[in-house]
Structure 1
């Protein structure tokens, strides 16, 4: 759904050289004011966005600047070796458009790659390999966003990130914990080990970490633009690294089959967003191949039939879990890359279909597992006439929980909600030697075996759960929300919306509340400290059950557009080392 006309740029300006610094006071998860705003998980990234806004850049320029800085400070969750989804609100045109720059399977990729002989291979073995690497889309996405809707060049927006990569930043306890979690994988690949390990162990918190190789990569993009990534020496280095992963003595990693043509032919996609309504709000999210927009809309459509605000909290949260369970049953059965699968999106978004699904919920008792429904009778689009073949059960943990999300708005009212990733913590673990960035393992987001809409195919984009969302009320932006977390992204965004709209929580409290994630598994995922709490015991009264393994769920970022014209940027108050929210001061 590419726009037929080239839209005009949002504004124009002359940019002078950037001065960039990260003051100690920058790391605050909450900020309010009347200018542009940014919320990320990283102080240098938020400062990068603010620097661009202060130089006259718009929200798109600032979002790319923040994303580039996140590639330095949060290299295990995102970077130029991956891909993502961007939702852009154009204030002057009162229009939302989405940019899909998800990774694609190389042309030589085979559907049986992860199931040789019909048996699915070990997941960890699949991740740490060249065959797990999809064709990266991040740089193409940044270029297309800047070219169509930005006002600045790569050279201008990458300047803050180049400085952070060159001068370094102090790593925190969270960074160290992520390295420790990936010691074994990182040790397999010498370039990764050299950057993040010392004598096989994580660097201590407080270490000043520089990445001159990544600074070099960003300078190549600043000088040569998008072509510098998808052709030439850098493209050759990516292909060679994928096809012959450089490993440490005694280590082995399966080779990929990527060609220079895969990089040269990569295209991002401009797509029309998913639109839905909930209690007077219009919610605008990401379409396929992200399943997030559809699944969140369906779950909210189911919940809309219950007066959650008038119920005891435990009963309302029980209904939230059951609605998520039903939405995930359908998500797992039907959704995948729209260029390969005719998914019944209209049926899944139908309020009438939601009413039928709602009838399956027992208000007093958990279901524990839901079967997929039949949205086809509610499908008005005649181009989707057939039901797919029966699908096998999707692996609940087939999508790792590690990504990053950022939110930016500018003084003109433009908004960017952007989620991008390299998939697992540390992606494939493979750093491109001499270029300082880790390659994704996005191919493991496919279901390893079928029949299933999300099985691997050459050129296909694996299904995602990334859910950058913008909410409107009375035609004006109300808030934007998004999170990392693999398949828990959907429940994090869904639960935050319910907390904010139904329970009346201010956005900081809605973000900080304990997260419970039901994805139609045998047990619901919970965070540390939740088990045994009064909230948990109350839900156990409805038969809800908890997964024995616990970890933080998501690291959300939001911006609230207040009725008085001010904005409030909100990041995590406790998760992932606490986030960074900034708002421009008057005069910029």
Structure 2
């Protein structure tokens, strides 16, 4: 198992940053009459402990807590939570999708990233989504068999549970199997997705699953049963994670991908060859904390870049004005524009392209980028970080259909996991009782090169598409657990998680209040937002700064997580979803 001890990093980071933090804290701490201070000075006398689960559905939360009460580890609980989420929240994640998991080991201080991102079939080419020399429309690509990559979530959970599990793997699926056999109550959010009149909600597979015996669609409050899912769960419990990647379960996936028009090339050999990757977590100081995220192909490096820009003096002074300040929100928007421009140019699968991680986080480069924020108008252009090969801007579209959850066990071990089938109900195709992902549409639709320049996120055989999933683990200067959070939301995940971090660690808000803040997403020239949550005074102040808000038309945030506040978990579950945060 590849893990990363962060103790040396913490010591180095804090020595390098404490002097800067003193100046920074002078700039960003609120004045005596400026509201509650941020929590940057908080210290703890003992490691965090106490059971904690935050997830997007109460049934999944209860399944996780049940495992923890039996003495299971955070990773044990994560297996149970994902198994239930895939049943009760199939529009967002499932056994047919992929994920990134961050694991904190309280005993060793190590943070490990588990990469369960899907991979392209061995037969995939850069023209995967072309037909007669012309790119397919995005929805045609999503609904095709070509959109499905090898599912990675189950294999990743299997590996992580081998490394960090306490209970037997076979004992982690009882709630999911029971709910699938006996039925679960359709939630309002799922009912809303079932009621959609097109796309993945109206494929032959979705119609068969979501239509009641009387010919009408299931609605909120109905009981929905999924015996095929129960059989799959039973097989996984009995045979292990590998059951999904060989034998009848794997063959069913391949058969479904090959059905209908525009079949995919996924093979049983592709499934058998899949391996999750344990990677070193990417950790950097922020104020007096250390924020850890997955490295590429996750876009977490871009989140760290935004946080680093936020610590430069001009940005820090603006952000320090707080959550009611137009100047703070304006700076937040401009930093996002710079972040996304660089992300879209440079981030991809590091097994195929060189990603200038160190260059994107280089202090001089960060300072130069942040200096552009106050005068930025229109779309931001990508910079040229040290070690970066200038690449063509890609044509990646990244819809939302994702979930996030956080678990802390009694020993202080933690999981922060973002999980997805990509779009709502993935490709709309089902096998073994679950939806298959359309994750390959996270690749750029343009060829490998454009105007002679390589595209970092182009399709290639065996490649993992770039992801915005950025599960976060937060540590203090002693390397102890402070918190964890993450969000769904497609490419907007970076903006949502950044808001959660700034709201809690800079503005000093309770976690729930930080998550419930308005969302503001700045990619390209426009500003998507929860316009109804920005009051008229704040909207007018933003407009005076050139930030004219428009309703965010993509799927919204679903932040889940918590911060350790001295002797308890301060948890939050985004009120835009149906989740809960519970301690025990």
Instruction: Provide TM-score, normalisation by structure 1.
Output: 0.87
Cα 1:4/1:304, change in 2 over 3 Å: closer
Q: Does 1:192 align with 2:218?
A: no
Which region of structure 1 is more displaced relative to structure 2, 170-179 or 452-461?
A: 170-179
* 1:523-573 deviation line (CA, Å, top 9, x unaligned): 111125247733222211110133455355211101221223x2233212x
Match of 1:326 among 338, 351, 374: 338
Asked whether the 8 Å contact 1:114–1:121 carries over to 2, the reply is yes
* 1:331-353 deviation line (CA, Å, top 9, x unaligned): 00000001001111101012221
Residue 493 of structure 1: aligned partner: 497
Asked whether the 8 Å contact 1:527–1:552 carries over to 2, the reply is no
SS at match of 2:87: helix
Q: Does 1:309 align with 2:320?
A: yes
Asked whether the 8 Å contact 2:99–2:153 carries over to 1, the reply is yes
Which region of structure 1 is more displaced relative to structure 2, 525-534 or 103-112?
A: 525-534
Cα 1:470/1:271, change in 2 over 3 Å: same
Match of 1:294 among 288, 295, 301: 301
Asked whether the 8 Å contact 1:166–1:215 carries over to 2, the reply is yes
Match of 2:564 among 540, 561, 564: 561
Structure 1 unmatched runs, 5+: 6-32, 246-252, 380-385
SS at match of 2:292: strand
Shift, 1:226, TM fit: 2.0
Residue 29 of structure 1: aligned partner: none
Residue 514 of structure 1: aligned partner: 518
Shift, 1:182, TM fit: 5.7
Which region of structure 1 is more displaced relative to structure 2, 555-564 or 100-109?
A: 555-564
SS at match of 1:550: coil
Matches within 5 A, 1:307-386: 307=317, 308-310=319-321, 313-362=325-374, 366-376=376-386, 379=387
Cα 1:366/1:531, change in 2 over 3 Å: farther
Shift, 1:187, TM fit: 2.8
Residue 38 of structure 2: aligned partner: none
Asked whether the 8 Å contact 1:137–1:268 carries over to 2, the reply is yes
Cα 1:356/1:482, change in 2 over 3 Å: same
Matches within 5 A, 1:98-177: 98-177=113-192
Matches within 5 A, 1:6-45: 35-45=50-60
Asked whether the 8 Å contact 1:295–1:327 carries over to 2, the reply is yes
**Whole-angstrom CA distance in 2 between matches of 1:139 and 1:322:** 38
SS at match of 1:522: coil
Q: Does 1:481 align with 2:485?
A: yes
Which region of structure 1 is more displaced relative to structure 2, 541-550 or 195-204?
A: 195-204
**Whole-angstrom CA distance in 1 between matches of 2:417 and 2:535:** 35
**Whole-angstrom CA distance in 1 between matches of 2:132 and 2:282:** 39
SS at match of 1:356: helix
Asked whether the 8 Å contact 1:183–1:200 carries over to 2, the reply is no
Shift, 1:202, TM fit: 3.3
Shift, 1:3, TM fit: 4.9
Asked whether the 8 Å contact 2:573–2:580 carries over to 1, the reply is yes
**Whole-angstrom CA distance in 2 between matches of 1:310 and 1:582:** 32
Which region of structure 1 is more displaced relative to structure 2, 51-60 or 544-553?
A: 544-553
**Whole-angstrom CA distance in 1 between matches of 2:493 and 2:3:** 28
Match of 1:207 among 206, 211, 222: 222
Asked whether the 8 Å contact 2:49–2:408 carries over to 1, the reply is no
Q: Does 1:526 align with 2:552?
A: no
Cα 1:72/1:182, change in 2 over 3 Å: farther
Asked whether the 8 Å contact 2:394–2:456 carries over to 1, the reply is no
Instruction: Provide TM-score, normalisation by structure 2.
Output: 0.87
Structure 2 unmatched runs, 5+: 6-47, 450-454
Residue 252 of structure 2: aligned partner: 237
Residue 410 of structure 1: aligned partner: 409
Cα 1:200/1:122, change in 2 over 3 Å: farther
* 1:1-50 deviation line (CA, Å, top 9, x unaligned): 93599xxxxxxxxxxxxxxxxxxxxxxxxxxx962110001011000000
**Whole-angstrom CA distance in 2 between matches of 1:575 and 1:316:** 23
Asked whether the 8 Å contact 2:511–2:571 carries over to 1, the reply is no
RMSD: 2.0
Asked whether the 8 Å contact 2:113–2:294 carries over to 1, the reply is yes
Shift, 1:228, TM fit: 1.4
Residue 543 of structure 1: aligned partner: 546
**Whole-angstrom CA distance in 1 between matches of 2:433 and 2:476:** 43
